């Protein structure tokens, strides 16, 4: 709780001591309009909206805002907020907000979008020829086999963990601050592996196996967050170099960033693990009760 309060205080009171030379933003928090980010996000939203309308017209179902639609639009809004809103600008100047941005993408947006299972609706947003072509491609043997391998619980957990640890290596993470191509690739790999991971946890894996994989992910991300937060010296030099302009030392910025991954991020994975464990126990109890009744009859 103290971590969240500290972060909120920074957000409310943060104002750079002076704008970077040549930058017109001053104390304002500008939005980010990188076409490589904005276009895919807007396109996904447009396809989902169009697909929803087409399905609505076909089924005459007026309940457009069902659970799936609400989950998708909530996940889409969080993704847009993380990558386009002033939060992205803050993430370029403070490690703390960069970490918040990543946690929103991986631990909030991705599971919400996965819960919506939006593939069918997105396909209906495409023109008919492209829709048929996309369906044919998705049903190809190589694609189905590849998806079966990648979306397995163990493989998805490994790939997601690999992306998190690799990109948080100080040398590579600092490189993304100055190289926009690497920065885009970082966000893309975080989001795609998170979608793969959450798809495996929610729709593919046995509940007990999913609980274990979620617990394992909580464990290793918490270890990484703790290593960042408890480091006695600054490891992310480029990412924290602007911290003084926002009233923090580079080490304080790094410590807060580590705490974001360690505490709020860990809570999300732990909460999901507990939910899966509860579902697994509940399902086992129902199966046991059903078997007992069957034997009694």
Residue 234 structure tokens = 């600054």
pLDDT at 64: 54
- The predicted pLDDT at position 256 comes to 97
Structure tokens at 148: 């079966």
Instruction: Report pLDDT for 61.
Output: 58
How far from 243 is each of 34, 144, 288, CA to CA, in Å? Answer: 24, 47, 57
Averaged pLDDT of the chain: 87
Place of tokens 């017209």: 57
d(CA 32, CA 45): 17
pLDDT tens per residue across all 297 residues of the chain: 455 445 545 544 544 443 333 343 444 678 888 999 999 999 999 999 999 988 888 876 556 558 889 999 999 999 999 999 999 999 989 999 999 999 999 999 999 999 999 999 999 999 999 999 999 999 999 999 999 999 999 999 999 999 999 999 999 999 998 899 999 999 999 999 999 999 999 999 899 999 999 999 999 999 999 999 999 999 999 999 999 999 999 999 999 999 999 999 999 999 999 999 999 898 765 655 454 454 545
As a whole number of angstroms, the distance between CA 201 and CA 195 comes to: 10
**Which string of b and e fits 237-263 if b means at least 16 CB within 10 Å?**
eebbbbbebbebebebbbbbbbbbbbb
pLDDT score for 284: 67
pLDDT of res. 59: 74
> What tens digit of pLDDT does each residue of 82-131 get?
999 999 999 989 999 999 999 999 999 999 999 999 999 999 999 999 99
Report the predicted TM-score, pTM, of the whole model to 2 decimal places.
0.86
């Amino acid at each position: 709780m103290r971590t969240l309060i500290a972060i909120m205080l920074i957000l409310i009171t943060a104002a750079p001591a002076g704008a970077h030379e040549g930058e017109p933003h001053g104390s304002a928090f500008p939005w980010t309009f990188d076409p490589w980010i904005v276009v895919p996000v807007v396109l996904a939203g447009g396809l989902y909206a169009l697909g929803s309308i087409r399905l609505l017209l076909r089924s005459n179902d007026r309940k457009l805002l069902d659970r799936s639609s609400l989950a998708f639009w909530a996940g889409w809004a969080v993704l847009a907020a993380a990558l386009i809103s002033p939060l992205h600008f803050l993430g370029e100047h403070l490690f703390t907000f960069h970490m918040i941005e990543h946690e929103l993408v991986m631990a909030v947006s991705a599971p919400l979008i996965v819960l919506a299972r939006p593939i069918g609706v997105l396909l209906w947003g495409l023109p008919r020829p492209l829709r048929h072509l996309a369906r044919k491609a998705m049903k190809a043997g190589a694609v189905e086999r590849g998806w079966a391998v990648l979306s397995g619980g163990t493989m998805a957990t490994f790939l997601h963990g690999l992306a998190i640890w690799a990109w948080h290596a100080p040398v590579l993470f600092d490189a993304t601050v100055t190289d926009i191509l690497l920065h885009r690739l970082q966000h893309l790999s975080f989001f795609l592996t998170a979608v793969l991971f959450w798809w495996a946890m929610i729709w593919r894996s046995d509940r007990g196996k999913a609980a274990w994989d979620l617990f394992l992910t909580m464990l290793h991300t918490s270890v990484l967050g703790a290593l960042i937060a408890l480091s006695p010296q600054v490891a992310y030099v480029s990412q924290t170099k602007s911290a003084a302009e926002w009233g923090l030392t580079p080490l304080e910025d790094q410590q807060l960033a580590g705490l974001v991954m360690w505490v709020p991020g860990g809570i999300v994975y732990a909460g999901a693990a507990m939910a899966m464990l509860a579902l697994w126990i509940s399902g086992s109890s129902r199966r046991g009760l059903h078997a007992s009744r069957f034997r009694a009859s």
